[in-house]
Structure 1
Amino acid sequence: MKFNITILLAFLAVMCLATGGIFVKLSSLPPINTALFRILFSLIFLLPFVYKKIKTVDKKSWIIILFSGVFLAIDLILWNTSFHLTSVANANLFVNLVPFTTIPLSYFLFKEKPSKNFLLGLGISILGILLLMSGKLSISSSGNYKGDFLAFLASVFYGLFLLSVYKVRLKIDAATLMFISGLGSIPVLLIAAQTTETIIFPPNVKELSILIGLALFSQLLGQGLLSYCLGKISILLSSVIILSQPVFAAVYAYFIFGETLSLKEILGIIIILAGVYYAKKEKKAPASSK
C-alpha cells in the first residue's frame, strides 16, 4: 500500500473518532456505561471476523494487547466523563494532545527521534488548534478545570494505548488487535461502571442505535483504522494526525448542531492541516508484514 493512501486512511480514522463526542453527548446513559457498551457492541461485531485468527496469536502478544485494553478503557472513562464537566470544545482540545505522551516515550522506547520538520509541523498544528478553539474554550468555572484535566489525562492513556500496540501491530492484523484489546477493556469498564454508576442497559431503540453507532463509527472504523495504520506509519506521525480531530468535530458541529464557523476558526483549520502536512514531510513508513 502506498504511503499517501495510508495517510488518507489515518485521516479517515480520525474523522470517525471525532464522531465519538457526538454520540456520547447524544446518549442518555452515564459516561462509563456508554464506554462499556461501545466496547461490548464492537466485540460482537468483530467476533465473526476474528474467532479463527485469535487462536493463532502467541501468548506474549495476547498479554501485551490485553494490557493495552486497560489503557484504552481508562482513556474512554476519563474522556466520556470529561464531557459532563467541561465543554465539548475543551474535551476535544485536551484529549488530542497525544503527541505530548507519544513523542518523548517513543524516543526512549523505540529510538524514534522526531525531525526538525516534524517538530515544526507539530508546533504549527497546535497553534492552529488553539486558534480553532479560542472562540469556544471555557475557562470560567472550576468544574471546567477538572473536566479539562480529565480530558488531558485521557490523551495520556490513549497515547499509552498506541505505544503499547505499536510494535505488536506489525504481526497482528488490526481487527484481531481491536478484539483482544476490547477483551482487556471490558473488566475495567464493568468494575468502573458497577462501582460508580451501576450497570444500566439501553432503555429503548433510540438509545440502542446511538450506542451501536458509537461502536461502529468511533470504535470499529476509528480505532480499527488507526490500529491498521500503525502497521504502516510511525507512532509520531499518527499522533500528529490525531491533532486534526478537532477540525472534523468542528465541521460536524456545523452541520449537525448548526454551530457557525468564523473566519478565525476556518483559518485555524487550514493551519492545523498545514502543520500535519509539514510534519509528515520526509517521513517514511516502517516495514510491515501486513
Structure 2
Amino acid sequence: MKEKIRENQTKDILLELLAVSLLATGGIFVKFSQLGPINTGAYRVLFSLPLLFPLAYPQLKKLTLKDSGLLLAAGVFLAGDIALWNVSFSYTTVANANLLTNLTPFTVIPLSYLFFKERMPRFFIVGAIITIVGVVALLGGKINPSFENYFGDGLALAASFFYAGFLLICYHLRDRFSSSVIMFISGFGSVASLFFIGGATEGIQHPEIWADFWPLIGLAVLLQVFGHNLLAYCQGKVNVNLSSIICLAQPAIASIYSLFIFSEKLSFSELVGIVIIIIGVYLVKAQYTAKKEIVNNKEQQLLKND
C-alpha cells in the first residue's frame, strides 16, 4: 500500500504556515487579557462554540452517546492544558511556553505503545535524548534565571501532558469526525472544567468593556476556530515531514511576536536549546506521524476491499 500522495502546493504550505502563525498568537492574547488566565481560557472556548456549530452540525447526528462521552472527557484534558498553559505566561516567556507544550510526542508515543500496541519510531530514544539536551540548554541558559521562570516552564511542560491526554482520547474518533466536531463537543467539557477551576482559584470573572472582550474574541477566532481547523485541513494537503517542520516553527514565530510586542529577549544558550529541541521533536514526530498515516491508509484500503 502506497503512502497517500500530497502535492505540497505552495498555497497549502503558506496556509499551514498561516495556521501555525495564528496558533502562536495564543500567549499574546492571554497576556493582554484583563481577566485571569483560567477565566480567559474558559471564555476562549465558550466564544468559539457558536462559531464551530455550523461547521460541526452536519456530522453531529453521527455521534453516539459513547462518542460524546469520550469527547467531553477529552475536553477535560484540554481544559487542563489550557489552564496550565495560560498560567505559565505569567511566569515564563511566550517562546518557552509554546516550545515546552510542543513536547507532546514524548507522552503520546509511549502511551500509544502501552494502550494501542503501536510500535515506537526507530529513532524515538535518540530523539528523546536530543530533546533532553535541548531542554537542559534552554533552562540553563536564561538571561535572568529565577524560581518564577522555572515554575512557568514547569507549568508549560505539565500542560503538554494534559494535551497528550486530549490527543489520545481523540485518536480513533479523528478518523470518523472532523476537527470541528471534536473541538465543538469537547468544548463543552472544557468550558465546564475551566469555569470550575477558575471559580475555585480566581473567582468567576465577566468581561464588561471592549478591553476585556477583544483578547477573548482573538483567542476564540484565531486559535480555537481558524488556527486548529486550518491546520487540520492543511495536514491533509502537505507531506507529513514538511508539515512537521512547519508546525515546529510555532515557538520561533511566538518568540518573534513576544520580542516585538513585549521585548522578551532570549539568550544565545536559549536559542541553541530551542534549535536542539526542535530537531529532537522533529526526528520523533515526523517518523511517528508518517507511520501512523501509512497504517491508516492500509486500514482504509482493506475496508474498501471488503
Judge conservation of contact 1:90–1:137 (CA < 8 Å) in 2. no
> Equivalent residues in 2 for 1:135-174 (5 A)?
135-136=141-142, 139-141=145-147, 143-174=148-179
The aligned residue for residue 253 of structure 1 is: 258
Q: For residue 116 of structure 1, give the secondary structure of its aligned residue in structure 2.
A: coil
Which whole-Å CA distance do the structure 1 matches of 2:143 and 2:104 have between them?
A: 19
**Mind listing any 5+ residue stretches in structure 1 that lack a counterpart?**
none
Q: What's the CA shift for 1:52? A: 3.9
Give the corresponding residue for 2:304.
Answer: none
Report the CA distance between 1:281 and its aligned residue.
5.5
What's the counterpart of residue 303 of structure 2? none
Amino acid in the other structure paired with 1:100: F
Offset of residue 88 of structure 1: 3.4
Compared CA separation, residues 122 and 224, structure 1 to 2 (3 A): farther
Further displaced range: 55-64 or 182-191: 55-64
Q: Is the 8 A contact 1:10 1:241 kept in 2?
A: yes
Counterpart of 1:206, as a letter, is A
Checking the alignment, whether the CA contact within 8 Å between 2:95 and 2:258 is kept in structure 1 is no
Deviation, structure 1 residue 19: 1.3
Q: CA deviation at 1:78?
A: 1.4
Are 1:115 and 2:121 matched, yes or no? yes
Is the Cα contact below 8 Å between 2:130 and 2:279 reproduced in 1? yes
- Distance in 2 (CA, whole Å) between partners of 1:148 and 1:269 is 13
Q: Please name the residue that 1:34 is paired with.
A: 40
- Pick closer, same or farther for the CA change 1:81–1:269 going to 2, 3 Å: closer
Show structure 2 runs of 5+ residues with no match: 301-306
Question: What is the aligned partner in structure 2 of residue 185 from structure 1?
Answer: 190
Partner of 1:54: 60
CA distance 1:77–1:205, change in 2 (3 Å):
same
Query: Residues of 1 paired with 2:282 and 2:206: CA distance?
Result: 43
Max radius of gyration: which structure? 2
The equivalent of 2:6 in structure 1 is: 2
**Aligned mates of 1:58, 1:225 — CA distance in 2:** 26
Shift, 1:103, TM fit:
1.8
TM-score (norm 2): 0.76
The answer to which of 208-217 and 13-22 deviates more is 13-22
Structure 1 residues 151-199: Cα deviation after superposition (integer angstroms, max 9, x where no partner):
2221110011011101110001111111001011111112122222222
Residue 204 of structure 2, aligned match among 199, 204, 221: 199
Residue 246 (structure 1) shift: 1.8
Aligned pair partner of 1:69 in 71, 75, 96: 75
